C-alpha cells in the first residue's frame, strides 16, 4: 500500500506540473469564443450523419457522396461562410472517368506466318493493370529489355541500342544493384518493390513503348479469388488525364513460350545477366504479342466543397490559410456491405466543419482569410486535391499554409501523429508546437519521414499542396484494425480526442492567419523517392 501511495503522489505531482505548464499558455482572448465552442457532442451528431448507411459509403461519383456534399455546403452556409471569391456555389465540380477491366481481356503469342497461340488465361497466366478510356488492341513486336533499368553511375543500361517506340517491352521483375566489398564489385538483383510496376511503366512510356510486360510469378501466385477481386475494382482518374501505359504481369511459363523461338528461357537470361553483370537486351525475332484489353469506361461528375471566411485585414485578407479533409470513402462492395468510413475520413471532415463553426463564432475574425476544402476522390488517388491545386479558387501564391486532417478519431486518446510540419517551413513547425503548448497533446513524429515505408506523407491531400511549395501540417491518428473495412463505424470513435485535435488545428490556423508574415518556406519540396 505504501509503495502505491508514493507512486500515486509522484504521478499527481507530474500531472499538476504538466497542467501548470499548459495553463500558463492561455488561449488568445480573441480566439477564446471559438475554442470553447468546439464540442464532442456536436461532432458526434455531424459524423453520425456522414457515416450513416444511407450515404452508401460516400464513393466518389456516386449518390451518397453527392448527398454529403450538399449537407456540407448547407452547414457551411448556416454558420455564415460563403463560396470562394467570384464563385456562386461552394461545389467545385469536375469530371472523372471510371474504368474497369473486363474478364474477356486476353493475350496471345503470334508466331511465324501470323499463327497465334491459344489465348492465355487472365488471372492464371497474366493480369493486366491499365486505366484506359476504352478497349485497346495491341499487336506489336517484343523487345526484351532486361530489368527495365538504367544507371549512368554504374554504366548499366537495359535500353542501350534498343528501338522501343511502338514495341512491347518484356522485362524481369526486380532491380539490379551494385556494391563494393573489399575492392570487388558485387552485382545482384534486389526484389521487386511496391512501386516497381509504376516506376518501370513510366520509363517504358517515356521510351515510346506500346505496353510493358513484367515477368513476376509471385504476383500471380496469390489466391486467384483475391486477385480477381482486386483487379475487378473500378479505377478512377480525372477525365483529362492521359491513358495509362498498359502494364501486364505474366508467369515465367508464358514468358518462356515467348522467348523459346529465340532460343532463350527466363532462367538462362537471368543467369547470363548475373554472370556478365551487364544488360543482355535484344528484340525478339519471329514472334509478336497480341494483347486484347476489354475495358468498361464511364464519365461521371463529382465535386470538392469549398467554403470561405473573409479575413478582417484589408491587405492580408487576400491571403488564405487552407484547411482540408477528404469526405469521400470507398462505397459499397459487391455483396451490398456499406463501408461507412467513420474515421476515414468522416472524422477529419467533421473536425474541419467544427473548426469552421468555431471561427465563425468569434467576435473578431482573423486577419487572413480562411478556406475550408472538403476534397473528393482522395481514395482514388488524391484526385480532388490535385484538381483543386491545378484549378485553385484562390491563387496558390496567396495560400500561406494548408492544415490537413485524415483519420483523427481512433487510437491513443492523447496522441496524434504530426507529419510534414517541418518539411517546407521551420516556422510553421514552430507555430504547430506553440499551439500544442495550449492543447497539450503528445506529438508523435514516427511517420514524419519521407522514406517511411508506410508513405503516409504521400497518401493524403496535403501532398498536392506541398508539391506546389505550400507549407503543410498533416494530423493523423493512425491506422487500426478497421481501416478500409465495414467495421469503421461511429461507435468506435473517440470524440473527445477528435475535439482536442480540432482545437489544436484551430489554434494553429488562428496563429498562422494572424501573423504579420506568412510562414517562411526555407526547405525545397522533394517528390516521392
Tens-place pLDDT, residues 154-191: 888 999 999 999 999 999 999 988 887 766 778 888 88
Is 307's pLDDT higher than 60? yes
Write down the pTM of the prediction. Answer: 0.88
Is 132's pLDDT higher than 80? yes
**Residue 121 or residue 502, greater confidence:** 502
Is 21's pLDDT higher than 90? no
Phi then psi dihedrals of residue 127, to 5 deg: -130, 155
Task: Determine the pLDDT at residue 89.
Answer: 98
Residue position matching grid coordinates 501540417: 473
Residue 278, Cα to own-chain centre: how many angstroms?
36
Task: Determine the pLDDT at residue 365.
Answer: 96
Least-confidence region, from 7-16, 88-97, 161-170, 339-348: 7-16
- Grid coordinates representing 162? 534498343
How many Cα atoms are found within 13 Å in the side-chain-facing hemisphere of 259?
Answer: 26
Q: What does the alpha-carbon distance between residue 424 and residue 251 come to, in Å, rounded to a whole number?
A: 44
DSSP 405-437: E-S-SSSSTTEEEEESTTTS-HHHHHHHHHHHH
Is residue 321 classed as helix, strand or coil in its secondary structure?
strand
Q: How many CB atoms lie within 10 A of CB 121?
A: 12
Read off the pLDDT of residues 219-241 as tens digits, 9 standing for 90 and up.
Answer: 776 656 666 666 667 889 999 99
Contact assessment for residue 231 and residue 159, using Cβ atoms and an 8 Å cutoff: no
Question: Rounded mean pLDDT of the chain?
Answer: 91
Is residue 214 classed as helix, strand or coil in its secondary structure?
strand
Is 11's pLDDT higher than 80? no
Q: What does the alpha-carbon distance between residue 37 and residue 34 come to, in Å, rounded to a whole number?
A: 5
DSSP 162-200: ---TTPEEEEESSEEEEEEETTEEEEEEEPP-TTHHHHH
Task: Determine the pLDDT at residue 406.
Answer: 98
Task: Determine the pLDDT at residue 225.
Answer: 62
Q: What does the alpha-carbon distance between residue 384 and residue 381 come to, in Å, rounded to a whole number?
A: 9
Read off the pLDDT of residues 435-444 as tens digits, 9 standing for 90 and up.
Answer: 999 999 999 9
**Residue 217 or residue 55, greater confidence:** 55
Is 369's pLDDT higher than 90? yes
Read off the pLDDT of residues 68-80 as tens digits, 9 standing for 90 and up.
Answer: 999 999 999 999 9
Task: Determine the pLDDT at residue 122.
Answer: 87
Read off the pLDDT of residues 413-430 as tens digits, 9 standing for 90 and up.
Answer: 999 999 999 999 999 999
Element (H, E) at 10: helix 2-23
Is 15's pLDDT higher than 60? no
Element (H, E) at 403: strand 399-405
271-300 mean pLDDT: 92
**% residues pLDDT > 90 (the chain):** 76
Q: Where are the beta strands (DSSP E) in 268-398?
A: 282-293, 295-309, 320-326, 369-375
Q: What does the alpha-carbon distance between residue 197 and residue 195 come to, in Å, rounded to a whole number?
A: 6
Task: Determine the pLDDT at residue 261.
Answer: 86
Is 129's pLDDT higher than 70? yes
Write a three-state SS string for 342-371.
HHHHHHHHHHHHHHHHHHHHCCCCCCCEEE
Q: How many CB atoms lie within 10 A of CB 272?
A: 12
Task: Determine the pLDDT at residue 183.
Answer: 66
Q: For residue 20, name the pLDDT band (cuts at 50, 70, 90).
A: very low
Amino acid at each position: 500500500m505504501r509503495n502505491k501511495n508514493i507512486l500515486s503522489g509522484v504521478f499527481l505531482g507530474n500531472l499538476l506540473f504538466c497542467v501548470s505548464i499548459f495553463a500558463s499558455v492561455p488561449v488568445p482572448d480573441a480566439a477564446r469564443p471559438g475554442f470553447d465552442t468546439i464540442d464532442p457532442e456536436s461532432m458526434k451528431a455531424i459524423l453520425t450523419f456522414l457515416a450513416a448507411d444511407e450515404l452508401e459509403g460516400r464513393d466518389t461519383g456516386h449518390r451518397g457522396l453527392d448527398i454529403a456534399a450538399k449537407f456540407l455546403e448547407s452547414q457551411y452556409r448556416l454558420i455564415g461562410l460563403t463560396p470562394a471569391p467570384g464563385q456562386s456555389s461552394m461545389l467545385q465540380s469536375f469530371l472523372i472517368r471510371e474504368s474497369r477491366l473486363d474478364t474477356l481481356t486476353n493475350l496471345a503469342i503470334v508466331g511465324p506466318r501470323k499463327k497465334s497461340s491459344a489465348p492465355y488465361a487472365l488471372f492464371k497466366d497474366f493480369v493486366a493493370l491499365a486505366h484506359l478510356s476504352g478497349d485497346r488492341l495491341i499487336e506489336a513486336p517484343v523487345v526484351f529489355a532486361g530489368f527495365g533499368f538504367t544507371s549512368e553511375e554504374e554504366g548499366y543500361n537495359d535500353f542501350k541500342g534498343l528501338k522501343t517506340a511502338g514495341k512491347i517491352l518484356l522485362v524481369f521483375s526486380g532491380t539490379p544493384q551494385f556494391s563494393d566489398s573489399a575492392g570487388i564489385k558485387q552485382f545482384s538483383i534486389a526484389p521487386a518493390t511496391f512501386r516497381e510496376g509504376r516506376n518501370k511503366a513510366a520509363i517504358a512510356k517515356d521510351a515510346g513503348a506500346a505496353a510493358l510486360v513484367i515477368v513476376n510469378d509471385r504476383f500471380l501466385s496469390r489466391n486467384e479469388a483475391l486477385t480477381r477481386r482486386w483487379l475487378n475494382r473500378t479505377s478512377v482518374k480525372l477525365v483529362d488525364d492521359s491513358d495509362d501505359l498498359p502494364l501486364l504481369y505474366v508467369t515465367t511459363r508464358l514468358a518462356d513460350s515467348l522467348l523459346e523461338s529465340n532460343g532463350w528461357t527466363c532462367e538462362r537470361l537471368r543467369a547470363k545477366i548475373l554472370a556478365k553483370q551487364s544488360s543482355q537486351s535484344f528484340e525478339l525475332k519471329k514472334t509478336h504479342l497480341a494483347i486484347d484489353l476489354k475495358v468498361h469506361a464511364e464519365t461521371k461528375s463529382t465535386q470538392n466543397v469549398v467554403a470561405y471566411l473573409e479575413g478582417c485585414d484589408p491587405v492580408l485578407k487576400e491571403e488564405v490559410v487552407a484547411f482540408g479533409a477528404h469526405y469521400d470513402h470507398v462505397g459499397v462492395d459487391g455483396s451490398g456491405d456499406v463501408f461507412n468510413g467513420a474515421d476515414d475520413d468522416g472524422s477529419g471532415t467533421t473536425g474541419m466543419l467544427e473548426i469552421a463553426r468555431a471561427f465563425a463564432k468569434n467576435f473578431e475574425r482573423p486577419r487572413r482569410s480562411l478556406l475550408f476544402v472538403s476534397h473528393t476522390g482522395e481514395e482514388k488517388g488524391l484526385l480532388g486535391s490535385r484538381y483543386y491545386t491545378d484549378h485553385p479558387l484562390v491563387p496558390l501564391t496567396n495560400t500561406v499554409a494548408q492544415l490537413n486532417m485524415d483519420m483523427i478519431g481512433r487510437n491513443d486518446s492523447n496522441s496524434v501523429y504530426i507529419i510534414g510540419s517541418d518539411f517546407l517551413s521551420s516556422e510553421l513547425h514552430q507555430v504547430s508546437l506553440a499551439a500544442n503548448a495550449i492543447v497539450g497533446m503528445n506529438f508523435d513524429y514516427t511517420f514524419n519521414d519521407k522514406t517511411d515505408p508506410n508513405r503516409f506523407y504521400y497518401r493524403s491531400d496535403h501532398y498536392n499542396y506541398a508539391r506546389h511549395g505550400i507549407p503543410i501540417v498533416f494530423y493523423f491518428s493512425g491506422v487500426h484494425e478497421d481501416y478500409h473495412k465495414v467495421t469503421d463505424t461511429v461507435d468506435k470513435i473517440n470524440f473527445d480526442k477528435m475535439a482536442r485535435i480540432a482545437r489544436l488545428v484551430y489554434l494553429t490556423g488562428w496563429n498562422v492567419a494572424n501573423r504579420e508574415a506568412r510562414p517562411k518556406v526555407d526547405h525545397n519540396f522533394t517528390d516521392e523517392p
